[in-house]
Structure 1
Amino acid sequence: MKTIAAIGVFLVLFSAGKAQAQVDAAAGSAVANSSDPISRLTQTEVPTFPDEVQMTVPPVIERPLGVDEGPRVYVDRFIIQVDGEIANAWRNGAFIDDLQRMFDNRRSTQGPDGMTIGQLEQLTREATDWLRNEGLMVGRVYLPVQTVESGEVTVAVLQGRLGAVEPDGNNMYSSQKLLRPFAALEGQPIDRDAVDRVLRQINDYPGLTATGVFAPGNEVGTTALSLRVRNEKRFNSSIGLDNFGTEFTGEYRARFSTRANNVTGNADFIDFDVLGTQEPDNALFGSFLYSVPLFGPGRNVSFRYQNNDFDITGEAFPNDVVGTTEIYALGYEHVLRQGRDFNASFIAGLAKKNAELEELQLLGPTFLGRDKLTVGSFGVTFDFIDRQAGGINRGSLIYMHGFDDFLGSLLENDPESSRSIPNLGINAGGKFDKWYMNFTRLQRFSDTVTMLLRLEAQQSDDFLVSLEQFSLGGPTSVRAYSPSQFLVDSGAFASVEMIFAAPGFHSKPAFNNRSWGEVLQLSVFYDYAGGYRSDFLDLNRNTLSDDENLDLDGIGIGLRFNPTAQFSARLDAAWPSGGIEPDNGREPQLYFSLNFTF
């Protein structure tokens, strides 16, 4: 009976509990809102506690002075904080990933005790140096005031935006003209290459020299730029005297050159050159050039006109031979890249050339030849600095095409041309193709020793008129020979010159606040040039061959004298080192030049 009673009590209690559970489930929110303190206690969520504060980074003035002093924190993560509006403005934001890797690498090498505030600041200084070396000129990485939790340390990046640009000291150029190249940079992070490129564009303005100086901007996060004009010159002129001419048209030459800058206020210029010869007084050369930027810096259009009237005399010409050469040319230059270490430009042009030659006889002038050409060209020019080896390089590569019977040019095989093989009926013409290149390198080995390397070449498979041939010999070629001793269709020139600045006393003061190393240089050199003329007919193929090969080489010494920045003088003496004698019979060959700029 006791057992049955116990089972009955259990069933009653079980049924009551089950019913109460159903009521509670149905009541739902009513129970939650009950005023019963026990009910409220059972429904309250378990409270959460904030992460433990590991370090507080105070303002800079309150931070420990020593790098290893003060509290430490073990860094689990660095958070890079960048101004959201311009985060991707510099290099499309790629620098953020680079900074993250830099901080993560440092985090992985921290000791078990973590890092101090001083060590964190040292890391931000290293990151700042890296940013500036990469080109963000006024960029800064710093450790802001913060409370470090869960090992997460925030570092902030200020990129530094370009604010106002203020010209200072300009008179010849308007402020609007000087500010135009900066328009695309305003409000952007100050990138070294971009600023350098714009400053170079401005310094390419004719007659202008300017520098940029940074100062705090008027707005937070900006830096102002003061564009200080150091020099404005309306005219640049020079006079010169040399003996670079030939014995037939005048050996001694006097030259005057001048440039008028910013003629119309558009950073344009006009060049005017005139050159006359003496002994004999037989040639007068004049040149006019106008150049103007097209739609802003780095895109220049030019027009050039040249005229050369000459009278050839000598034993080889019993009668006077007179000639005139005229050249009209349009040119275009587009700057491809402009920077501190590398510059490159695309160039193109179209030139119309006309050269006529007549022999004066008793019965009247006799026509000797007329070369009328229309020549198109395009190519690249470049210069760059080799930082590792310390060399300065400059060069160009140009392709030229002559159009036959275009704008009055010669036919493809024209009997009126000045160059022909009469018995074979072969004449130079207006149609031709040729490549031209030049390259120079100035290599400094020490304060007193420099090497000058010069290379020049032309290649053509065509029978060219003299205007388009390559010259071998003379003051800008093999100096042991007379000017243009040979003219070839294809040829090359190479020169190596070792220059010594006042050996033994280069650092001693000379005059005009210049050292002897600046005033006086001695040099030794070796020149070589070779090429061929297509003057013979290959009867088996009925085509022109390149069998007439010509080679010239010579050695020499030089002296340069530069007492002031405006005056320079040079004297070269050279001797042939091969088997070909100079046309003028001179050994050594002497060339001099004097030049004064103002």
Structure 2
Amino acid sequence: MPSAQHNIGAVVCTGPVVLSLITAANAQVLPLPPNSIDEPLIERELIELPEKQPPVLEVPVLPSAPIQEISPNISTLFVSTVQFVGNTVFTNEQLQAIAQPYTDRFLTYEDLVRLRSDLTNFYVRNGYTFSGVYIPAIGNEFVDPSDATITLQVAEGSIERIVFVGDKRLESYVRERLEFAFTPLNQPRLEAAIRLLQNDPFVQSISANIAPGSAEDRFILEVQAAAQPTLDIRVGTDNQRLPSVGSVQTQAELTASNLLGAGEQVRVSYGRTEGSNTYDVQVGAPVNRWNGTLSFAYASIDGRITEDPIEEFDIRTDSQLYTVSFEQPVIRKVTEDVVETLAVGISATRLNTEATLSGIPFPLSPGANANGTTRVTELSFFQSYLNRTQASALYAGSEFNLGLDAFNATVGSEPDAQYLIWRGQTIWLQRVFNSAQLSLTGALQLSSDPLIPFSQFSLGGPNSIRGYRQDALLADSGASLTAELQVPIVSTQDGQQLSLIPFTGVAVGWNNNRNRALDTNVLSSIGLGGQYEWKDFAARINYAIPFTSIAGTGDSLQEQGIDFEVRYRLRF
């Protein structure tokens, strides 16, 4: 066994060789930590085209006037003023503006009925379909026919209680999101709240009807709801990781949703390749009835280069990523045909990465300090927009990321952990030819700063431009556009489907320092994929032909233009 002194000498002597090999490959061989730029800003399944939803609310025939009104046999009155009792939704001034044409003039009983109808219609037009305005007998018995002050009673309908049938873990979650529409009862607002729950990830189905309550203007809301499966297990294998640590990975993921009835979600996952282990834990829960969500995530990856000729130098990395985020939807609109949301959020991220060469800390990655350590403290502001119909879906995401000189971040070199980045992503899905689906995905990153690998734009790989290895190029700024058309060719009655998927893509990247210019900065390819789906099982294989050659191409399946993915999902 060589002495420690000999190891240090070997590291010093072979370090430039290793670095030259990495540079010659012109690719990222050290595994990036999870949730870096190569990860999409949104999961594709979150924008799947929705199915047509059933009616959300059954409404009863409204009862007759809840109070005894004045007799139709009254004589003509000179009405000088009108006063209101029982109104809380609209002010006296708002109601007086409607009543003004009926004051300071003689009114017959028919005129009073028209006044009452105008006021009731004002409530109905604003969604208060269970409210009405009446001319009570009590309070108008002793009016002066020559100078009458007419009292109008406003009966604002409300829900006095909810009768909930279904999974009890959903009850408090559903109640909190419906009660704001109760007092007074606003039908469009209640229907919108129910439609939002129909599209809620925790709710499998929900329906409601309104029943008469203890009084004519009091109602009971009967709600039936079924919860989505509490546990979601996914297992699979693919070859979408870096070839330097083994592109073929196996993954297992467990998601537990709404176990406590508060809308919380816990996700734990593990992935393994020949040279890496990835652990990921995410916890999130809503903090208000508008689904503002506070989340915490921890991810860890330890990697070892297993690719020749670098494997013999025993290059290893160990990374931890901590993220705290808050996201608040500011627009949530759901109709029978359209789902539209706009959300904003803020997150704080901490990255710690250490690299070693033959067991000795060594700065193998740009921006690392002399001990091979990279520390990043990042503050992000993000926005997302989603519009879905039965025929199309559009997602647009934006992110401003600020690397801070805080909490001992790695600064002082070029590149370092101080930077400003804007990232954008769009995904458009469109049903075509009845059963086929067109998908267009665009991504853009802009920065005026030299960036460390964690923050750079990734070009190449199964989730970017197929036909190249994962992270074939890393750049400070870049743009990509991919397109694919999924065409079902065989479908069976039991749900099996076989599809052909032609695809193409192009990406360009550039660095901000001339000394770090890319030898090749454009990647493009075309190819064909095949996908088989049956219930919760899916498998896909793709073959891509690259149009641009790059240095350092190896013999992995990715670099031969082949990538595959096999997934199975179990929910209960």
TM-score, normalized by the shorter chain, greater than 0.5: yes
Distance 1:217 1:291 in 2: 39
Partner of 1:483: 470
Partner of 1:209: 204
Partner of 1:394: 395
| Deviation of 1:384 (Å) | 0.9
| Deviation of 1:302 (Å) | 1.4
Structure 1 residue 238 and structure 2 residue 246: aligned? no
**C-alpha contact (below 8 Å) 2:424/2:443 kept by paired residues:** yes
Partner of 1:343: 341
| Deviation of 1:177 (Å) | 4.0
Q: How does 1:488-567 map to 2 (within 5 A)?
A: 488-502=475-489, 510-512=492-494, 514=495, 519-537=497-515, 550-564=521-535, 566-567=536-537
Which of 328, 332, 351 is the equivalent residue of 1:334?
328
Secondary structure class of the residue paired with 1:554: strand
- Inter-CA distance 523–584: structure 2 relative to 1 (3 Å threshold): same
- Inter-CA distance 182–312: structure 2 relative to 1 (3 Å threshold): same
Residue identity opposite 1:327 in structure 2: L
Partner of 1:460: 447
Structure 1 residue 166 and structure 2 residue 163: aligned? yes
Residue identity opposite 1:456 in structure 2: A
Q: Deviations over 1:312-357 (max 9, x none)?
A: 1223414110011101111111121112131011111111101111
Residue identity opposite 2:460 in structure 1: G
Distance 1:225 1:476 in 2: 47
- Inter-CA distance 86–198: structure 2 relative to 1 (3 Å threshold): farther
Residue identity opposite 1:320 in structure 2: D
Partner of 1:360: 358
Distance 1:158 1:583 in 2: 77
| Deviation of 1:207 (Å) | 4.2
- Inter-CA distance 297–310: structure 2 relative to 1 (3 Å threshold): same
| Deviation of 1:295 (Å) | 4.2
Q: How does 1:397-436 map to 2 (within 5 A)?
A: 397-404=398-405, 406-413=406-413, 427-436=414-423
Partner of 2:72: none
| Deviation of 1:266 (Å) | 2.6
Distance 1:548 1:197 in 2: 55
Partner of 1:79: none
Distance 1:203 1:385 in 2: 11
**C-alpha contact (below 8 Å) 1:494/1:527 kept by paired residues:** yes
**C-alpha contact (below 8 Å) 1:197/1:339 kept by paired residues:** no
Partner of 1:312: 305
Q: How does 1:74-85 map to 2 (within 5 A)?
A: 85=86
Distance 1:231 1:288 in 2: 23
- Inter-CA distance 159–400: structure 2 relative to 1 (3 Å threshold): same
| Deviation of 1:199 (Å) | 5.1
**C-alpha contact (below 8 Å) 2:177/2:193 kept by paired residues:** no
Distance 1:587 1:463 in 2: 28
| Deviation of 1:260 (Å) | 2.0
**C-alpha contact (below 8 Å) 1:291/1:302 kept by paired residues:** yes
**C-alpha contact (below 8 Å) 2:279/2:301 kept by paired residues:** yes
Q: Deviations over 1:136-182 (max 9, x none)?
A: 496799xxxxxxxxxxxxxxx99975553221112334x34431222
Partner of 1:10: none
**C-alpha contact (below 8 Å) 2:128/2:184 kept by paired residues:** no
Which of 295, 304, 320 is the equivalent residue of 1:302?
295
Distance 2:510 2:247 in 1: 26
Secondary structure class of the residue paired with 1:183: helix
Which of 280, 286, 298 is the equivalent residue of 1:293?
286
Distance 1:583 1:547 in 2: 15
Distance 1:393 1:93 in 2: 40
Q: Deviations over 1:427-459 (max 9, x none)?
A: 211210001111101111231232101011111
Q: Deviations over 1:240-289 (max 9, x none)?
A: 11111222101211111112223444322211111011xxx210000111
Using the aligned pairs only, state the percent identity: 18
Q: How does 1:242-261 map to 2 (within 5 A)?
A: 242-261=238-257
**C-alpha contact (below 8 Å) 1:533/1:549 kept by paired residues:** no
Residue identity opposite 2:285 in structure 1: V
Residue identity opposite 2:474 in structure 1: L
Q: How does 1:93-242 map to 2 (within 5 A)?
A: 136=127, 161-162=158-159, 164-173=161-170, 175-197=171-193, 200=196, 204=200, 207-218=202-213, 219-221=215-217, 224-242=220-238
Secondary structure class of the residue paired with 1:196: helix
**C-alpha contact (below 8 Å) 2:542/2:563 kept by paired residues:** yes
Distance 1:377 1:327 in 2: 14
- Inter-CA distance 594–85: structure 2 relative to 1 (3 Å threshold): farther
| Deviation of 1:220 (Å) | 2.3
Residue identity opposite 2:276 in structure 1: A
* TM-score, normalised via structure 2 length: 0.68
Distance 2:530 2:189 in 1: 39
| Deviation of 1:559 (Å) | 1.6
Distance 1:87 1:520 in 2: 59
Which of 519, 532, 547 is the equivalent residue of 1:577?
547
* TM-score, normalised via structure 1 length: 0.65
Residue identity opposite 1:551 in structure 2: V
Distance 2:266 2:409 in 1: 28
| Deviation of 1:461 (Å) | 1.0
Distance 1:401 1:484 in 2: 23
Q: Deviations over 1:114-145 (max 9, x none)?
A: xxxxxxxxxx9xx99xx99x89496799xxxx
**C-alpha contact (below 8 Å) 1:162/1:225 kept by paired residues:** yes
Larger displacement relative to structure 2 (192-201 or 312-321) = 192-201
| Deviation of 1:535 (Å) | 4.1
**C-alpha contact (below 8 Å) 1:207/1:235 kept by paired residues:** no
Distance 1:233 1:350 in 2: 31
**C-alpha contact (below 8 Å) 1:530/1:549 kept by paired residues:** no
Partner of 2:380: 377
Secondary structure class of the residue paired with 1:182: helix
Ranked by relative contact order (alpha carbons within 8 Å, sequence separation 6 or more), the top structure is 2
| Deviation of 1:237 (Å) | 1.5
Distance 2:394 2:562 in 1: 28
Distance 1:220 1:444 in 2: 48
Secondary structure class of the residue paired with 1:525: strand
Residue identity opposite 1:557 in structure 2: L
- Inter-CA distance 430–365: structure 2 relative to 1 (3 Å threshold): closer
Distance 1:198 1:460 in 2: 43
| Deviation of 1:87 (Å) | 9.2
Q: Which has more radius of gyration?
A: 1
- Inter-CA distance 315–462: structure 2 relative to 1 (3 Å threshold): same
**C-alpha contact (below 8 Å) 2:245/2:307 kept by paired residues:** no
Distance 1:207 1:439 in 2: 26
Any stretches of 5+ residues in structure 1 without a counterpart?
1-59, 61-82, 98-123, 142-156, 414-426, 538-543
**C-alpha contact (below 8 Å) 1:136/1:159 kept by paired residues:** no
Distance 2:173 2:388 in 1: 30
